Amino acid sequence: MAAPHVVMVRCGITLAHGTTGRATDALGVSPLALSLLAAYTVVVVGVRAARRPAPATAGPQPRRAKGRIPPMWLSRSVGVGILTAAVVTSRVGGFTSEEARLWPLVVSGAVWPMLVLLSAALRDVWPRVDPWDSLARLIAPSGQPPPPRGDVRWAVPMAFSVAWFLYAWPAARHPRALSAGLLAYTAVMLTGCVIAGRHWLRRAEAVGVFLSWVARMRHRGLMGWVPERGAAPILGIFAAGALFGELRTSSWAGTIPLSATPLSTVLPIAIACAPVVALVLAGERWARQRGAAGAVLVGCVPTIAGLVVALSLTDNELLHAAHGALQLLGIRRGLPPPHFSGDVQVISQLVILVASAASGAAIAARRASDSRAGVPSTLVCAAFAAGATLLVAAA
């Protein structure tokens, strides 16, 4: 029997057209079997990678010619412009109500996953668009020399606030909520810069900290990375947030009591974060005991980056958010948004999830001193792949 036609609407915007049928229904494969297959694939890749000699760590990379990339001032102006437009859209005239409702979808559905994807593919993306550093340069000169990049624990509560806003609070899709959230985050960042100097952003700006790790995926940058203190909770929080957001859109969403009030949504996502952060911390402690300190965190970076990108495809949200961004630019207005069929969407998500987790397991295993030292990182990456696959397939 054909699944009923579904139209998803958020904040008055039609997001997805399609059916509730999943690729797993058409293929006759149970979600649990797919989950176990994903974990098995990651383990096999990690074990095989551990038997190969570790490559040399990456040295300084040659800079590109200046003519091949936009000048820094131009890309930074674009970053500040996007932040400003997102903040003021709901508070000043000049935008239609439809355009105002598009901004929250664009920021959470397109800007965030695309920043993760582009940072992994092109490396120095965030430093070229970072709006908070651009604003901080106007009010808080650096002054003292930068502190060593060894402690990012101040970014842990900021990472939780970002994950809560993006994945847990239903009202975050309202334009005024987006404006208030960005203003509050900007105020905290700039206040810290005024008090502690512009280098405060290196220790407390969670988005930039996470994207700087993702950028290390190129040129074997993760092989020589020494994780900062506080890296494990940040990685676990972003992973838990993405998984929690996927759970909210699944058929199990009715089991999660969420309301529009901010405080009522803090506890559910905090409960979701606790076991994921504990998994990362326990895996890293196990790896350290085997002489492979940092291996689990190294493996988590590509795994969680893939998690964010793959789960953004749920209900075609990334495609519709990108379509909304084009509409804000005056392109494709009046045209229906593109979308994947249910089969293509789910298969694409599973491929990204398994490939990113297998990549993380392989990098971490080759970084470890021997094959036994790479076991914790491989198992943690496999756990993430299995859990995300189960959510995607069973939703």
**What's the chain look like in SS3?**
CCCCEEEEEECCEEEEEEECCCHHHHHCCCHHHHHHHHHHHHHHHHHHHHCCCCCCCCCCCCCCCHHHCCCHHHHHHHHHHHHHHHHHCCCCCCCCHHHHHHHHHHHHHHHHHHHHHHHHHHCCCHHHHCHHHHHHHHHCCCCCCCCCCCECCCHHHHHHHHHHHHHCCHHHHCHHHHHHHHHHHHHHHHHHHHHHCCCHHHHHCHHHHHHHHHHHHHHHHHHHCCCCECHHHHHHHHHHHHHHHHHHCCCCHHHCCCCCCHHHHHHHHHHHHHHHHHHHHHHHHHHHHCCCCCHHHHHHHHHHHHHHHHHCCHHHHHHHHHHHHHHHCCCCCCCCCCCCCHHHHHHHHHHHHHHHHHHHHHHHHHHCCCCCCCHHHHHHHHHHHHHHHHHHHHC
Burial of 1 (0-12, 13-18, 19+ CB in 10 A): exposed
CB count, 10 Å around CB of 351?
A: 12
Q: What's the pLDDT score for residue 76? A: 86
Q: What angle do CA 177, 79, 14 make, to 5 degrees?
A: 45
Which residues, 6+ apart, have CB-to-CB distance to 225 below 8 Å?
Answer: 213, 216, 294, 298
With a cut of 70, list the residues of the chain below it in pLDDT.
1-28, 52-70, 90-98, 123, 141-149, 250-262, 332-334, 369-371, 395
Residue with tokens 């651009």: 134
**Residue 200, domain member (yes or no):** yes
**Residue 64, domain member (yes or no):** no
Amino acid at 29: V
How far apart, in whole angstroms, are the C-alpha atoms of residue 339 and residue 40?
31
**Residue 60, domain member (yes or no):** no
pTM, rounded to two decimals: 0.86
**Residue 2, domain member (yes or no):** no
Residue with tokens 């998984």: 243
Instruction: Give the tens place of pLDDT for each residue, 304-353.
Output: 999 999 999 888 788 888 888 888 777 766 677 777 777 888 889 999 99
Q: What's the pLDDT score for residue 331? A: 74
- Please measure the distance between the N-terminal and C-terminal CA atoms of the chain and give it in whole angstroms: 18
**Residue 62, domain member (yes or no):** no
**Residue 371, domain member (yes or no):** yes
Q: How many residues does this entry show for the chain?
A: 395
Number of domain units in the chain = 1
**Residue 223, domain member (yes or no):** yes
Q: What's the pLDDT score for residue 252? A: 60
Residue with tokens 């208030």: 180
Range of 152's domain? Answer: 22-53+71-394
**Residue 33, domain member (yes or no):** yes
Nearest 10 degrees: Cα torsion 239, 308, 288, 231: -80
CB count, 10 Å around CB of 374?
A: 29
